[in-house]
Amino acid sequence: METYLPIVAPVLTILWILICLRIYTMISAENIIQRRLIAIGGALGAALIYLLASSLVMVLQAPSAADAQDQGRVRVQSKSNQ
C-alpha cells in the first residue's frame, strides 16, 4: 500500500484539472465570466485537493503511537540465583 501513496496527491490533482478543463471547453466562448469562474474554481480546487491529499498521505505514513512506544521501551530481566 505504501508504494503508491506518494503519487496519490498529484494524480488526484491532475484528474481534477482535467475535469475542470473539460467543463471549461464545454462553455461557450461568449460566456467570459463563467469561463473565468470555472478556471479560478478549478485552480483553487486543485490546490485544496493537493494539500488535503498530501496531509492525508503523511498521516497514513506516520508510525502509530503503539509503534513509537515500543521503540522507547527497555526490557529489564533479573538474574535468578540457582
* Conformational region of residue 63, where left means phi above 0, alpha means psi within -120 to 50, and beta covers everything else: beta
pLDDT tens for each residue of 3-25: 788 898 999 999 999 999 999 99
Tell me how far apart the alpha carbons of residues 21 and 68 are, in angstroms, rounded to a whole number. Answer: 44
pTM over 0.95: no
Tell me how far apart the alpha carbons of residues 9 and 6 are, in angstroms, rounded to a whole number. Answer: 7
pLDDT tens for each residue of 26-68: 999 999 999 999 999 999 999 999 999 999 988 888 776 666 5
